[in-house]
Amino acid sequence: MCTLCMLSASVNLILAVFVLQFLRVTKQYLPHVARLCLISTFLEDGIRMWFQWSEQKDYIESSWGCGAFLATLFVLINLLGQLGGCILILSRNFVQYACFGLFGIIGLQTIAYSILWDPKFLMRNLALGGGLLLLLAESRSEGRSMFAGVPTMRESSPKQYMQLGGRVLLVLMFMTLLHFDANFLSILQNLVGTALIILVAIGFKTKLAALTLVVWLLIINFSFNAFWTIPTYKPMHDFLKYDFFQTTSVIGGLLLVVALGPGGVSMDEKKKEW
């Protein structure tokens, strides 16, 4: 039993050192890469709205019977809202307003494309919202005291709960990746994946679990969503492209967790107090 305890402690120490070394090497540019990945799906969709203006307008007009004016307005809002939000986030100007705007775009698309009734795509949109929530938390300063010299209680800071909500929503992406097959490999993948998403959600060994999920998602994304291998005239090309950039955005959210930590409402933070 003692041998197992020592082995577990040694593994934990090695992993902790690895994460610390990774953060030390990447601390200068990791938050920038995280933000770029996070907004990638909005950037791609905004550009697609530009190049597929007529197709998108016709789809909305025929689906909802709302007329050409409202369909055109929908496409215009999506185009300007997404590209404008991405520019503001990358330039670090009015980030909070940009996040709220992109939240609105997610809600608008969820209704317009009937994603509300598709559990898989709904969970992915919620995961995307979780990434934006983490970005919004990053852009906020810590809660200020009402009186000079009196610190605000950490538990009451909205930023901490934004980080908690962002972590919980991010893990919904992995719920869509679970495969309920009877073979050993699928069962093992489900068990490991479930354990990792629980660790991220509760904020225990958060940076290591999030970094592991980033690697896992990168492998899945480049293996199964390789849209560049499909001719552009085939519908599967657009489907895989959409999937690829949505997954990339969730990777960006997880990278923010790796770079900034889980926040105050987490097991990792409570361990420091204990």
Does 231 fall in a domain? yes
Contacts of 6 (CB under 8 A, 6+ apart): none
- Which of 9-18, 96-105, 141-150, 198-207 comes out lowest in average pLDDT? 141-150
Does 151 fall in a domain? no
Q: With 70 as the cut, is the pLDDT of residue 50 above it?
A: yes
Does 255 fall in a domain? yes
Does 133 fall in a domain? yes
State the pTM of this model: 0.83
Expressed as residue numbers, the domain containing 197 is 32-142+159-267
Confidence grade of residue 260 (pLDDT, cut at 50, 70, 90)? confident
Does 199 fall in a domain? yes
Contacts of 227 (CB under 8 A, 6+ apart): 236, 237, 238, 239, 240, 241, 243, 244
Does 26 fall in a domain? no
- pLDDT for 18 equals 62
- Which of 3-7, 67-71, 122-126, 191-195 comes out lowest in average pLDDT? 3-7
Q: What is the pLDDT of residues 177-186, one digit of tens each?
A: 766 666 777 7
Q: With 70 as the cut, is the pLDDT of residue 91 above it?
A: yes
How many domains does the chain divide into?
1
Does 6 fall in a domain? no
